[in-house]
Amino acid sequence: MSKGFVLELIKLSKIYSESGSDKLVIFKNINLSIKSSELVGIIAPSGTGKTSLLNISGLLDLPSDGEVRILNKSTKSLSIEKRNNVRRKNIGFVFQSSNLLNEFTSIENVALSRIIKGYRFIEALNYAKKLLINVGMENRLYSRPSQLSGGEKQRVAICRAIANDPKLLLADEPTGNLDGENSKLIFNLLIDLVKEKNVSALVATHNLDLIKKMDRVFSLTKNGFKEIH
């Protein structure tokens, strides 16, 4: 895709209604456009709204106001079913704690995301195997999440996120539970894969060291959303 945007956030706001009539304003009027193959970081302290913003960007949650556009199309008035389809076809997620399915092996966790996209079972398994071998998991293909270390689980989670050939990768503190050395490793892996597959990525983190490789970086604070690099 050479023209247009993969993700556009237009005047996006999120307000949670607390018990009674209290309202918790998380962010207001966020504008952001991400082009094909662009890597964008969000740096923000805990509790400022990274997860809320990524969930809304990935159509897992609705904004209170504003609009999310995916591949130049508005998602504003889509039915739940159509939103789910847009997500399954175009978006991959890496969560802070890997969120793998405990009953399934590494290879099955990765393959499932491709099967849901519509690929055939055997093709999906072969593809998942290739992805996992590519990230050094050749000896852990048939392990379940409980048998994996935190870093290994994140490697599986990253492979799962890209196994459906997404146009957009959303990563929420992808190295949040890892030590410094492993964080660097996993983060570099994520960036290499994104570059190799021409995926656009929006990555939230509070680790300043990890964002030097991003094309653009924004900060999200109580005072607003602004570009810092």
Ligand X SMILES: Nc1ncnc2c1ncn2[C@@H]1O[C@H](COP(=O)(O)OP(=O)(O)OP(=O)(O)O)[C@@H](O)[C@H]1O
Residue 172: closest CA among 97, 99, 95? 95
Write the CA distances from 157 to 26, 27, 53, 101, 168, integer angstroms: 28, 28, 20, 10, 15
Q: Which does 26 bind (CB under 5 to 8 A by kind): Mg ion, ligand X, none?
A: ligand X
Q: Report, in Å, the least distance between residue 45 CB and ligand X.
A: 7
Determine if 51 is a binding residue for Mg ion (CB under 5 A): yes
Q: Which stretch binds ligand X (CB under 6 A): 49-57, 120-128, 149-157, 184-192?
A: 49-57
Which of 41, 49, 145, 151 contacts ligand X by CB under 6 A?
Answer: 49
Please tell me the count of residues contacting Mg ion according to CB under 5 A.
2
CA distances from 42 to 139, 149, 187, 220 (A): 34, 26, 14, 7
φ, ψ (nearest 5 deg) of residue 108: -70, -40
Taking the complex as a whole, the smallest distance from the CB of residue 50 to ligand X amounts, in Å, to 4
Token pair 């740096």 is found at 43
Q: Which CB sits closer to Mg ion, 189 or 204?
A: 204
48 binds ligand X (CB under 6 A): yes
How far, in Å, CA of 25 to CA of 23, rounded?
6
Of 51-59, 73-81, 103-111, 190-198, the window that binds Mg ion (rule: CB under 5 A) is: 51-59
- Percent of the chain as helix, strand, coil, to the nearest 5: 35, 30, 35
Structural tokens at position 121: 């079972």
Sole window of 32-40, 42-50, 80-88, 107-115 interacting with ligand X (rule: CB under 6 A)? 42-50
Task: Kindly determine how many residues on this chain lie close enough to bind ligand X according to the rule CB under 6 A.
Answer: 11
List 12, 44, 111, 211, residue binding ligand X (CB under 6 A): 44
Contact residues for ligand X (CB under 6 A)?
16, 24, 26, 44, 46-52
